[in-house]
A and B are shown apart, each in its own frame.
Chain A
Amino acid sequence: MTDTPQTDGPMTDAIDARGLKVHFQTAAGLVRAVDGVDLTVRRGAFHGIVGESGCGKTTLARALIGLQSATVGQVSIFGRDRADWAKADRKGFARAVQFIFQDPLGSMSRRQTVGQTLEEPLQIHGIGDNKARRARVQELLDLVALPETVLDRLPRSLSGGQRQRVSIARALALSPQLLICDEPLSALDVSVRAQIVNLFARLQAQLGLTIVIVAHDLAIVREVCSSVTVMYLGRVAEEGEAKAVFSDPAHPYSQALLSAVPSPNPVTEATRPRILLAGDPPSPRNPPPGCRFSSRCPVVEPRCREAEPVLRPVAHGGAAACHLADADAHAMI
């Protein structure tokens, strides 16, 4: 059932997006949700996309797989043009790439039992006979550590953690190679969140998946992700290896975002220096000229309000879009 997508070689990246823009025309004006993003996700990566509401992270995730059509730009998945692939072989594309939604209840039929929910993709793709499908459903339950007793239950009667496990199991039914997850942890309690995070990490190691996770819980991203993209107002502010970005963020926004996460240890919390940004993120309808972060940046310079910075290599080996950052040094706030 491993259905390797045709690619131009095993070394191609899982995702390669170029110049992606998603603009929405609304009554109040043009919303530039994603406004010129290049994104590369290597095969086998556990990639986190972080940022605050309105930064475009969810829209980006949806645009990557065509759930949201892009205004401009091009996305390749495993070396194939995503739009062409989905048009030519929709089912094959679905077998390779799956999406997990923030709200598992909203993404499942309320009238289908867990068993039916898990079997449906197998039926649609004509995989196995009845018996083989049952066996596969059992396998999926084991994979996400759900007891067999949930098979006859409706999504409503499950706990939040169990529902998210079901939606993960359903996404895995067709043995995809790329999983894109939109805030899969936000609706969960702390102790359950840890269970699901560990489940993702285990699945990735076990199945060799590439996982992209949209999240606002930075501590968890640091814990499980291998690489990370920090977004601000529709643009990439910084990107790189997760541990490197977290230990030496080059963009002032990344620094402030990380500083905003309190330490669970009250002694550390009381003594650490803290950066408090003024104001809310501006509206993506009306981004400030020049650098989008210039209106809140504590180390802003006149040139920041004039020219928009492009991503350039920085000390930690990744890249940041800040006039004050290059491979040798960056601003510290």
Chain B
Amino acid sequence: MTAPIYQVEGLVIDLYTPTVSVRAVDGAGFHVAPGETLAIVGESGSGKTVMTLGPLGLLPEGVAVDLRGTARADGKDILAMSPAELSRLRGGFFGVIFQDPMSALNPMLKIGPQLAEQARRFAGLSAAEACKEAVSLLARSGIPDPEDRYDRYPHELSGGMLQRAMIALALAARPRVLIADEPTTALDATVQAQILALIRQIQKEDGIAVILITHDIGAVSVLADRVAVLYAGQVAEEGSAIDVLTAPVHPYTRGLLASVPDFRSDSASGTKEIPGIPPNQAQLEAGCRFADRCDRVQPQCNTRRPRLQTVGMGVVPHRVACPVVIAAEGIVTHD
């Protein structure tokens, strides 16, 4: 296995507003290697975005943050970096695609020059080269007639085209890690399929690492090599996409997948529901975060926090934080 290019361990992120403090990430971690796609799956408030972007200093505005743990990009300690170093890293090493293209593109500037500026600053191209590069990035992102679109303002492009322009912008600095935060949530089904195919193609061609942050199991199934399932700021289960999506062990993962209908399967899968709502992360109790919604709950779950244990014999470690199911189903662990 290739060494990870972005790696986060034992991350704890507390967010404070004047009225509440929230433990958004609670001892979670992940790693991603070049050429690999990691999907970080969770529902709103699970901490998936904060965990991935927090170490890079991309956090909600107007919130005080306390961040502990380790985060390394290409072997370098990110958390020890000066703001200037971190800014360079964000611009060049990481490329980010957001849910809303207008949060990345400047509405007052034409598309092409925004791309060229990025390529000049972070990929070290001359002005003339950067301009050419911008056109070729637009073409690569599947935008028809790129020379014409170069001179367009963001508002002149449709939703799908804007999403592509933002992908081109994220690629302009030639990043080594592409972070896609809910890249298709706001898009229509047929356009979603196009964008997912585009991300997959770019990754294959460039061999970059991709982190997909999403709650859409379908998108995970299309793109991911590995999956980490996040619940209330902790990793509940992680492993290869095939292990986690087809043989889930953690009751939350099982519940999440059972709530997603698959109209291609003949079995009437139904839409099973997980009762209740995620816990209030302002007042977390000891023990398993999922305990009060879990159908397999045991007395121990309320007092002892489960740790990730490795199950199965796959090449990609499949790790699960639920000793109850592991014991009840006689699953062999080895770590």
B-contacting residues of A (Cβ < 8 Å)? 52-53, 159-162, 189-195, 197-198, 216, 218-220, 222-224, 246, 256-269, 272, 274, 276-277, 279-281
Please give, as numbers and ranges, the residues of chain B lying within 8 Å of A216 by CB-CB distance. Answer: 188-189
Please give, as numbers and ranges, the residues of chain B lying within 8 Å of A274 by CB-CB distance. Answer: 193
The answer on a CB contact under 8 Å between B190 and A52 is yes
A222 to B260 Cα, complex, angstroms: 12
Please give, as numbers and ranges, the residues of chain A lying within 8 Å of B246 by CB-CB distance. Answer: 265-267
Please give, as numbers and ranges, the residues of chain A lying within 8 Å of B197 by CB-CB distance. Answer: 276
The answer on a CB contact under 8 Å between B277 and A192 is yes
Q: Which residue of B lies closest to A243 (CB)?
A: B263
Q: Which residue of A lies closest to B144 (CB)?
A: A279
B295 CB–A CB distance under 8 Å = no
The answer on a CB contact under 8 Å between A257 and B262 is no
A52 to B192 Cα, complex, angstroms: 11
The answer on a CB contact under 8 Å between B273 and A194 is yes
Please give, as numbers and ranges, the residues of chain A lying within 8 Å of B190 by CB-CB distance. Answer: 52, 256-257, 260, 277, 281
Which of the residues B43, B189, B275, B277 comes within 8 Å of A260, measured between beta carbons? B189
The answer on a CB contact under 8 Å between B277 and A269 is no
Q: Which of B85-93, B217-225, B319-327 forms contacts with chain A? A: B217-225
Please give, as numbers and ranges, the residues of chain A lying within 8 Å of B220 by CB-CB distance. Answer: 264, 266
A177 to B256 Cα, complex, angstroms: 33
Q: Mark B259-281, 1 if CB is under 8 A from A, else 0.
A: 11111110001111111010000
A240 to chain B, nearest CB (A): 15
A190 to B41 Cα, complex, angstroms: 11
A220 to B295 Cα, complex, angstroms: 24
Known: A266-B246, A280-B160. A260 touches B221 (CB 8 A): no
- What would be 24 A-B contacts, judged by CB atoms less than 8 Å apart? A159-B277, A162-B277, A190-B43, A191-B43, A191-B255, A191-B256, A191-B273, A194-B271, A194-B272, A194-B273, A216-B188, A220-B271, A224-B271, A259-B193, A260-B192, A262-B193, A262-B219, A263-B262, A264-B221, A264-B260, A265-B246, A266-B224, A272-B264, A280-B191
Please give, as numbers and ranges, the residues of chain B lying within 8 Å of A257 by CB-CB distance. Answer: 189-190
Please give, as numbers and ranges, the residues of chain A lying within 8 Å of B270 by CB-CB distance. Answer: 223
The answer on a CB contact under 8 Å between B43 and A269 is no
Please give, as numbers and ranges, the residues of chain B lying within 8 Å of A272 by CB-CB distance. Answer: 264
10 A-B pairs closest in CB distance: A262-B218, A194-B259, A52-B188, A260-B193, A189-B43, A222-B263, A194-B271, A194-B273, A260-B189, A191-B274
Of residues 221 to 264 in B, which have CB atoms within 8 Å of A's CB atoms?
221-222, 224, 241-242, 245-246, 255-257, 259-264
B57 to chain A, nearest CB (A): 27
